[in-house]
Amino acid sequence: MATPELSLREVTLEDAKLLFDWANDPDTRRHSFSSGAIEWREHRHWLQDKLHDPLCRFYIVEHAGAPVGQVRFDLKSVDAAAVISISLDPKRRGEGLGTAAICAGVARLRQDTDVVVIHAFIKQTNAASLRVFQKAGFRDLRAKPDAQVARLSLELMPAPR
Ligand SMILES: CC(C)(COP(=O)(O)OP(=O)(O)OC[C@H]1O[C@@H](n2cnc3c(N)ncnc32)[C@H](O)[C@@H]1OP(=O)(O)O)[C@@H](O)C(=O)NCCC(=O)NCCS
């Protein structure tokens, strides 16, 4: 499958409804670590906090000008570790966009920060997610893998500036 051309733009408060709908998709909830339904007010507060957090990098992924998903990095500091979170519009899954979205997000993070390692925490039952992160180069670097939650990591070389 050819690699889809994706672009990223920063999330704004106007994306609240879009992100809310994607986050409440049953498959997304099932694969999350807190799997209950999300309330609108709680979601708005959460998004406002994320948008004001200097250690959060949050992007809408676009394909042919239309939003298809989101990728978010929560950083420990701008030169240390980050945790990645990704989800696609439920209608756009199964097209090979997941790996491309991760790669686009990682490239952007390398440009904008000196983060040296990115971790993805994934339930072992989430086969599609395990696969897309592995295809994007993430590996389990721990001596003893966890039985229920995989931590796949990508070590980064600094990008030329
Ligand atoms: C994870 C996610 C981004 C992947 O999206 P995607 O790129 O459309 O994924 P696909 O459905 O194309 O599946 C990716 C790969 O996994 C494989 N796969 C999917 N479901 C599978 C299953 N149940 N068992 C085995 N392999 C499976 C696909 O065959 C595909 O393999 P290929 O690339 O070799 O063809 C998307 O499913 C999503 O948004 N899920 C909800 C949120 C989520 O789980 N986020 C990650 C939290 S860590």
Q: List Cβ neighbours of 77 (8 Å cut-off, separation of 6 or more).
A: 55
Residues with CB under 6 A from ligand 1: 27-28, 31, 86-88, 93-98, 120, 122, 126-129, 131-132
- Return the closest-CA partner of residue 43 out of 66, 11, 75: 11
Domain 6-155 matching CATH 3.40.50.2300: the answer reads: no
pLDDT band at 1 (very low <50, low <70, confident <90, very high): low
Please give the pLDDT value at position 3: 80
The CA distance from 72 to 92, in Å, is 18
Q: Which of 1, 129, 151 to probe ligand 1 with, by most ligand atoms within 8 A of CB? A: 129
Mean pLDDT taken over the chain? 93
Mean pLDDT to the nearest integer, 79-99: 95
Question: Tens digit of pLDDT for each residue in 13-60?
Answer: 999 999 999 999 988 888 888 878 889 999 999 999 999 999 999 999
pTM of the shown model:
0.94
